[in-house]
Amino acid sequence: MQEFQSSFLKYVIDNEILRFGEFTLKSGRTSPYFFNAGLFNTGEKASFLAKSYADAIVHAGMEFDVIFGPAYKGIPLAATTAMALANKHNVNKPYCYNRKEAKDHGEGGSIVGAELEGDVMIIDDVITAGTAIREAVQILTDNGAKLSGIAVAMDRQEKGTGELSAIQEIEQSYQITVVSIIDLQNIIDYLSNTNDAELEKHLDSVAAYRKEYGV
């Protein structure tokens, strides 16, 4: 595990963004953990998240021309990650996002910010079913741009309806890499090495979940 990943895990656990217990998912499965990216809701938390995205993107060696944040959740992620890449890694990339409804006045159109062109990296919080990502890729296609990669905060490494996870299906469909700050295996490794007895007691249930539903 990379240093930025262990720092991220400590932060999300300390701030209860990642919680352990019993949580019913939309799929009907009972998960022993829950990651709520909506709780990155202060300036400090948003800044920490952006720096973590930037670290993951640089570590993975992702190459792209533009960062695209799908409305609405992707908008602050694209803006803050572009800032973190510039400030921390001296990687200065343009970013843009879409409006849900096209404007017919002012500059018009549905894309705000930089031109949506060339090789584009999409940034989002999580990929659950992949529907939002497929919609975002259609926006890229409509603008003559090409998907080069995707960055997410968390990869649950969990089967969907078939044997693949939603992320694996996206990777296969578009022949790209999806980079995540952390994944389920990182959580298991973190729990395995913690000195916190309260945290460690969740290890068995999380590992069992991975064994049953993991990819």
The residues that are catalytic are 103, 105
Give the DSSP H or E segment for 172.
helix 166-174
Other CB atoms closer than 10 Å to residue 198's CB: what's the count? 8
Take residue 164 and report the two structure tokens written for it: 């693949």
What dihedral do alpha carbons 185, 191, 194, 197 form, nearest 10°?
180
Tell me if residue 5 falls in helix, strand or coil.
helix
Distance CA 142, CA 147 (A): 12
Which strands, in side-by-side order, build the sheet including 109-113? 109-113, 95-103, 66-69, 119-123, 146-155, 177-183
Name the 3-class secondary structure at 128.
coil
- The whole-angstrom separation of Cα 165 and Cα 20 is 22
